[in-house]
Amino acid sequence: MPPKDKANGAAVVICPGGGHRLLVWTAEGIDPAKYLNSLGVTVFVLKYRLGRDTLSPYKIEVHAREDGLRAMRLVRSKAAEYSLDTTRIGMMGFSAGGEVVDMVAFGPNQPDPNAADPIDRLSAMPKFLIQIYPGPLFIPDAVTKNAPTLFLLAANDDPCCSISLMQLLERYRAAKAPVEAHLYTQGQHGFNMGYRSKLKSISSWPQRMADWLSDNNILQPEKPKIMH
């Protein structure tokens, strides 16, 4: 949770990476949560079910997706309790966690008005997305111009996931949907929040995210338009 004097009503559900075998809980969950807290953002780190864990009974496309959808709806249902602005609730994914984000944002996510559980009557659609070297699965063939505003970041020498950035960027550009992308020359895969990197571009990348959040009015409510 952010300090009370800094809380601005924005919220993020973070999906850590780990190849669907484990969760990189501290470096891709707690660390980004603390950083976003410093910006006044309320954060929820998702412990989604792992489809590739040893002897796992779960399927990525079923159970991890269900967990992502439920997390978004649950956070929305707690908006009053946590003083959240429901128009500024987004998702952040690292690597495999980015695949969970893609399933939620670009798959079926509409509420069921007839659901027995009132939480399932709420929309799971995130308002904005932060994708850090997102994994290659579940990238949509196309998006609409109304797709959630998107921040993309990866290293060009990432053999796994730099292509995911390019594919998502291409889809967004084709739809004229709002997107910002940062593709660094070096960094490989799994640099987390950049705290361990000797590369200045990587170690400072969270500031690019903070700038984007500010530029897109996510850190503060949108000012009402004055009619002249």
What are the residue boundaries of the structural domains of the chain, listed by start?
A: 11-215
CATH class of the domain comprising 11-215: alpha beta
Spans of the chain below 70 pLDDT: 222-228
pLDDT digits (tens, 9 = 90+) for 5-32: 999 999 999 999 999 999 999 999 999 9
Helix axes 96-106, 65-77, angle to 10 degrees: 70
- β-partners of residue 150 are 129, 179
Model pLDDT, residue 204: 98
* Amino acid symbol at 224: P
DSSP 13-78: EEE--STTTS--TIIIIIHHHHHHHHTT-EEEE-----TTSTT----IIIIIHHHHHHHHHHHHHT
Model pLDDT, residue 221: 72
CB atoms within 10 A of CB 82: 13
Tell me the C-alpha to C-alpha distance, in Å, between residue 25 and each of 30, 138, 177, 206: 6, 22, 31, 18
